[in-house]
Amino acid sequence: MTTEENYQAVKSGRSALTHYEGKWGLSEPFCASLFTDAQNEAMRKNGYTRFESVILHSINDALSGTSIDITSNRVVLIVSTTKGNIEILDNPECDEEREYPASAAQKIADAIGVTTMPIVVCNACISGAAAQVLALRLLDADLYDYAIVTGADCQSPFVVSGFQSFKAVSDEPCRPFDIERLGLNLGEAAATIIFGKEDKPNVSCTSHEDWALYRGCVRNDAFHISSPSPKGDGAYATLNTILADVAKQELAMVSVHGTATMYNDQMESKAIQRAELSDVPVSALKGYFGHTMGAAGLLETIISMRSIDDGFIPANRGFEELGVSGNMDITSESRTTNKNAFVKMISGFGGCNASLLLGKSLELPTTDSRSDIKHQYTIVRISPEKVEIDGKVFHTECKGKAMLTEIYKSQVGDYPKFYKMDSLARLAFVASELLIKAVKDIDAEHTSVVLFNRTSSIVSDRQHHSEMMNLPSPSVFVYTLPNIMTGEIAIRNGLKGETSLYIIDKKEWSLMDSIAVTCFCEPDIHHIIYGWVDYKDDMNFEAEIKYI
Amino acid sequence: MEELILTLKKQIIEVLNLEEMTPEEIETDAPLFGTGLGLDSIDALELIVLLEKEYGIRLANPAEGKDIFKSVATIAEYVHKNRTK
C-alpha cells in the first residue's frame, strides 16, 4: 500500500488489526496487523526473503519519480530493523549469512544499486527514529548528499512468542493511553523516507516535498533494560533537547509511541507533561497499524507528515478514557490543524528513547558544529585469546568465554546482574568495565555509548528460536535485541547520553569513527564509548572499544 | 513441604542465573523482590514461566504474581495448593 492508501485508511478509521488463534502453532491468541497473503505475494521478489522483498517494494516506491544518482558515493542506505531476516534462522535451505542483518542490507543495496556500505540501525523499537537521527547527522557532517532511510520487520513466532513471554501482547485491538489498555499488538510494515541535504546546516529535507527534519535526539534512561524510567527521564531529555527555542504553539501534534502497554504510555504522559507539551494534541497510531517495530519510527513519521499536509490530526483509535497520570491532550475523535510542525516520540527496550522535530517552515537558530573533538583515546581489545588495554596485555588464566567471567570476578565482582546477561552483553560489559577503569574518571551525565557489530545477537537468537514454541524465557528474549548491551553499560554507569547499536558488514574504523564523532554535534555530549562488540560463538568473539 | 522449598530454591537459582548463590543462602521467608535478592520485573516473568513449566500452573494475569512471589515460602504454599504436575 502507498502512503496515500495508508493515510486514507487512517483518516476513515480503518485498522488492519486482526485477532489470530493458533497462528503459527502458538498456543496463546494474539491480535496483530500482518501483511495479507495477497500483499505478500504482490511484494515477493524472486531470490529475496520476505523481509528483503517488502523493503525493496517500499524503497522502489519512494525512489520512483526522483532523479537521485543512486550509484554515487554520496548516497547511503540506512536500514532500520530489529530482527531483519529472523524468519530464515536455522532454515537449512537458506544461506546462513543472510541471518545477519548487514548481509540482508547489502543484498538490498545491490538490488537498488547503492555502492556505499549500508548501515543497519538496530536500536530496538526506536530504530526507525534513530535511523532518521543518523541520516540527519551524516548529511549535516557532509559525509553524504542523500540518505535512503528504510525500515521493516516481518512478524513470526519468534517475536510474537517473545512479547507474549513479557505478558505485553493483547489479544484485542490495542487501546493506547486508555484506562483499560491491555498491552500491545505487533504489526508488519515497510516504510522509506529519502533525506537530502538542505543548503542550511542542521536541516535535512525529506522526500515528502517541503518537509524537513530539523532536530533529532536519542537518550538513555539508565534505569532498566526492559522497563522505562517511571518519570520518563530519557524521553523527557530528548524532548528537552529538540524543543530548545521552539514555540510550543507552532506544533500541530505530538506523534507518540503509545504502545498501549501499562508502563510505556504512563511514562510518555509524564515526559510530555515535563516537557510542557500538555496542550499539544497527541496522536497515537498503534490502533491502526500495531507496533511495526523497525518500521514504526518511519511509518508514523510519514503518516504524521501526510496528516498535517491535509490539516488533519488522526483519531486515537482504541482510546476512550484517560488511563495515565501525566497531563496530555488526547481524544478519541480526529481534529483539524493549520500548523506545520510536529514531534515524533519513541522508546524501546534497552532504555533508549528518541524524539524528532519535523516541520515545513520552522525558523530555528542553527548551532555551530563543534570543533573541540578530542583525538586522544583509551582503547580496550578483547579476543578469545587475548586482552589488551592501550596496547598492554592484560593477563588472564582462562581463554574463550570463561575468560569473561574471570575478568568479571577479578575486576568487578559486585554486580551479579553480570550472570543474567547473554554472552554478547557480558563481552560488552567486561570491555566497558576495563575501559572505564583505565579512564578513571568518566563524565556519566554527558557520555554516549555507540556500538557496532556484524552478527547482531545471534547466540541469543538461536537460543530463543530453539525454545520459542514451548514457554520461552523472557530473559533470553530480551537479549535478542543486541542494543541491550548498550543499555547495560548505561545502567551500570548511569550514563545519560545516547545509546546506539549499528550493524555493518565489517569492522571498518573509518566508518565507525565518522559515525561516532557525529554524536558531538550535540553540545550536551562530551564523551563517547564506542567501537566494535561482536559475539558469533564462544570461540569467535571480539571487542575493540574506545573512550574519547 | 521442606523438599518442595529446597527444590524451588534450586530452580530459582537456575532460572534466574543467581550464579554465586546456594539454596542455603536464600532465606525461606525473606522478600525476593525489592531488598532481599533484589529481583526485578524480568525475574518475575521468569518465575511465571517456571510455575507453568515445572508445576503446570498458568497465571493469566501477571499482577497475581505480586502476592505469590513474596518469598520462597509463599511460592511453595501456592505451588502446593495449585500444582497440576
pLDDT tens track for A128-137 = 999 999 999 9
DSSP A370: P
A114 in Cβ contact with A194 (< 8 Å): no
Domain identity same for A316 and A394 = no
Minimum distance, in Å, between the CA of residue A478 and any CA atom of chain B? 9
Percent of chain A residues topping a pLDDT of 90 = 90
Is A526 within the bounds of a domain? Answer: yes
pLDDT top residue among A371 and A285: A285
Of all residues in chain B, the one with the smallest CA distance to A164 is: B45
Is A366 within the bounds of a domain? Answer: no
Residue B66: burial class (beta carbons within 10 Å; 0-12, 13-18, 19+):
exposed
Mark yes or no for CB contact B43/A475 under 8 Å. Answer: yes
With a CB-CB cutoff of 8 Å, which residues 8-67 of chain B face chain A? 15-20, 40-43, 45-46, 48-49, 52-53, 62
| Cβ-Cβ contacts under 8 Å, B49 against chain A | 165, 471-474
User: Which ipTM score applies to this complex?
Assistant: 0.93
How many Å apart are CA A123 and CA A347, to the nearest integer?
10
Minimum distance, in Å, between the CA of residue A236 and any CA atom of chain B? 23
Q: Where residue A431 falls among pLDDT bands split at 50, 70, 90?
A: very high
Is A373 within the bounds of a domain? Answer: no
| Cβ-Cβ contacts under 8 Å, B20 against chain A | 416, 419
Picking from A310, A326, A359, the residue at the C-terminal end of a domain is A359
Q: Which of A225, A416, A474 sits opposite B46 (nearest CB)?
A: A474
pLDDT at position A307 over 60? yes
Instruction: Tell me what pLDDT residue A198 has.
Output: 76
DSSP per residue, A63-82: HTT----TTSTTEEEEEE-S
Domain identity same for A384 and A273 = no
Residue span of the structural domain in which A327 resides: 3-359
pLDDT at position A201 over 70? no
List Cβ neighbours of A34 (8 Å cut-off, separation of 6 or more): A16, A18, A20, A155, A187, A188
Instruction: Tell me what pLDDT residue A47 has.
Output: 93
Instruction: Tell me what pLDDT residue A267 has.
Output: 98
Mark yes or no for CB contact B42/A475 under 8 Å. Answer: yes
Domain identity same for A442 and A327 = no
Among all chains, which residue has been given the C-alpha cell 547503492?
A114
Instruction: Tell me what pLDDT residue A369 has.
Output: 59
pLDDT per residue as tens digits for the range A493-511:
999 999 999 999 999 999 9
Topology of domain B2-82, CATH: 1.10.1200
How many Å apart are CA B76 and CA B80, to the nearest integer?
6
Domain identity same for A414 and A447 = yes
Give the total number of structural domains in chain A: 2
Domain identity same for A294 and A350 = yes
Of all residues in chain A, the one with the smallest CA distance to B37 is: A416
Minimum distance, in Å, between the CA of residue A224 and any CA atom of chain B? 9
The residues on A that touch B, with CB distances below 8 Å, are 165-167, 224-227, 416, 419-420, 471-475, 478
Of all residues in chain A, the one with the smallest CA distance to B21 is: A416
Is A370 within the bounds of a domain? Answer: no
pLDDT per residue as tens digits for the range A347-392:
999 999 999 999 998 888 776 656 556 667 899 999 999 999 999 9
Picking from A359, A393, A412, the residue at the C-terminal end of a domain is A359
Is A538 within the bounds of a domain? Answer: yes
A423 in Cβ contact with A535 (< 8 Å): yes
pLDDT by residue for chain B (85 residues), tens digit each?
899 999 999 999 999 999 889 999 999 999 998 777 778 999 999 999 999 999 999 987 878 888 999 999 999 999 999 999 8
How many beta-carbon pairs below 8 A join chains A and B?
40
| Cβ-Cβ contacts under 8 Å, A478 against chain B | 42
